Amino acid sequence: MSDQGNSDPLTTGERSELMSRINSTETEPKQLTRSLLHRAGYRFRKNVSDLPGTPDVVLPKYNTVIFVHGCYWHRHDCRKGRSMPSTNTDFWKEKFERNVERDAENEDALEELGWQVLIVWECSLNDDPVEAVEELMTELDAQLEE
| pLDDT score for 50 | 95
Residue 51 lies in a domain: yes
Residue 18 lies in a domain: no
Number of domains in the chain: 1
Residue 103 lies in a domain: yes
pLDDT confidence tier of residue 2, bands split at 50, 70 and 90: very low
Task: Look at the pTM and tell me if it is higher than 0.85.
Answer: no
How far CA 10 is from CA of 16, 17, 78, in Å, comes to 9, 10, 30
Q: Edge to edge, what strands does the sheet with 57-59 contain?
A: 45-46, 57-59, 64-69, 116-121
Q: Using an 8 Å Cβ cutoff, are 40 and 28 in contact? A: no
Residue 14 lies in a domain: no
Q: Which of 26-30, 65-69, 107-111 has the lowest mean pLDDT?
A: 26-30
Q: What's the CATH number where 101 sits?
A: 3.40.960.10
The parent domain of residue 91 ranges over: 24-145
Residue 62 lies in a domain: yes
Q: Using an 8 Å Cβ cutoff, are 106 and 50 in contact? A: no
Residue 66 lies in a domain: yes
Residue 79 lies in a domain: yes
